[in-house]
């Protein structure tokens, strides 16, 4: 049986939704895989959100390792907020402790699902890890908020999400799987027209500062992107578990041949969304 590892900080509802979605997919047979372990970078008592997360993991009866990043060498971490070298040292020492606690887990791939820490070089080299990024492979970098404002600035015609290989540089790993969706057409065009009219009177920076995530075009792009995040994660794990793709020397293999680029999951994602409707 294909087996995955799962890293999370368990900070909020999004992390819990990811956990529940993958467990449901495994239970109903949609994803033929087992959960080898779950690692949480918080411990009971650290925060209300992670307490709920840890409680849910335990209710599933899953192998769980908790290790609080908040409580690990806090003086060195505080120093790291001012000194990059100190932060790199803290990250290295924390990762080493995590690896020691996990031992040598018998998993094929590990998914970062709401994991709020940057991984150091030793952790990245230890095993293949994949992470969700809220942009298409050719899309903007940054947080999902930065991505959306940049898409609007570019007058983009599509957006998307991808799962990428985790490397030491944040969000710079090569894309593994992705899905895209149009941000033009029905439901979008009136919002673009309104935005263009607004931009005749003010700047995008002013709109972003005054309206933020409440801006209708911004909110619509986020809505369509967010509803595809869970299906992308699920369909990515399914593609690995079914043997459609695998990683060899950090290259994507499909049909026995290396792929020149990431593996497109548009059809699988849209099919899953249609089944949910």
Which domains does the chain carry? 1-127 (3.40.50.170), 137-159+180-277 (no CATH)
Mean pLDDT, residues 25-36: 94
Helix (H) or strand (E) holding 15: helix 13-27
Gyration radius of the chain over CA positions: 20
Q: What is the model's pTM?
A: 0.91
Find the mean pLDDT for residues 219-238.
95
Residue 125: the pLDDT is 86
Q: What CA–CA distance (Å, rounded) separates 24 from 31?
A: 9
Check residue 172 and give its pLDDT.
77
Q: Which two tokens stand for residue 13?
A: 């509802």
Give residue-wise pLDDT tens across range 253-275: 988 888 888 999 999 999 999 98
Please count the CA atoms within 13 angstroms of the CA of 243 that sit on its side-chain side: 3
pLDDT score, position 199? 94
**pLDDT higher than 90, residue 152:** yes
Report pLDDT digits (tens) over 211-221.
Answer: 999 999 999 99
- What whole-number distance in Å separates Cα of residue 10 and Cα of residue 208? 29
Do 221 and 258 form a contact (C-beta atoms < 8 A)? no
What residues pair up with 33 in beta bridges, in sequence order?
2
In the predicted model, what is the mean pLDDT of residues 71-96? 94
Strand ranges across the sheet with 251-254: 245-248, 251-254, 257-258
Q: How far apart are CA 56 and CA 96, in angstroms?
A: 27
Mean pLDDT of the chain: 92
Predicted confidence (pLDDT) per residue in 161-200, tens digit:
999 999 877 777 889 999 999 999 999 999 999 999 999 9
């Amino acid at each position: 049986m294909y087996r995955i590892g799962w890293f999370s900080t368990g900070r909020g509802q999004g992390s819990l939704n990811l956990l529940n979605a993958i467990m449901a997919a495994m239970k109903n047979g949609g994803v033929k895989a087992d959960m080898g372990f779950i690692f949480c970078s918080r411990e009971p008592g650290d925060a209300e959100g992670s307490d709920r997360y840890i409680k849910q993991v335990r209710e599933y009866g899953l192998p769980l390792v908790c290790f609080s990043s908040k409580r690990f060498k806090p003086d060195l971490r505080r120093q790291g907020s001012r000194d990059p070298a100190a932060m790199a040292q803290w990250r290295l020492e924390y990762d080493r402790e995590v690896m020691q606690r996990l031992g040598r887990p018998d998993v094929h791939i590990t998914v970062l699902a709401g994991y709020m820490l940057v991984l150091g070089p030793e952790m990245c080299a230890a095993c293949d890890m994949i992470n969700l990024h809220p942009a298409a492979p050719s899309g903007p970098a940054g947080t999902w908020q930065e991505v959306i404002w940049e898409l609007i600035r570019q007058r983009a015609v599509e957006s998307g999400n991808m799962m990428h290989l985790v490397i030491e540089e944040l969000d710079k790993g090569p894309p593994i799987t992705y899905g895209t969706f149009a941000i033009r057409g029905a439901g979008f065009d009136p919002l673009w027209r309104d935005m263009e009219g607004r931009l005749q009177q003010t700047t995008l920076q002013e709109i972003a500062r005054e309206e933020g995530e409440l801006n209708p075009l911004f909110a619509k792009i986020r809505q369509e992107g967010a509803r595809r995040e869970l299906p992308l994660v699920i369909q990515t794990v399914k593609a690995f578990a079914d043997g459609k793709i695998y990683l060899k020397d950090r290259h994507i293999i499909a049909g026995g041949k290396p792929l020149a680029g990431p593996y497109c999951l548009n059809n699988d994602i849209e099919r899953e969304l249609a089944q949910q409707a």
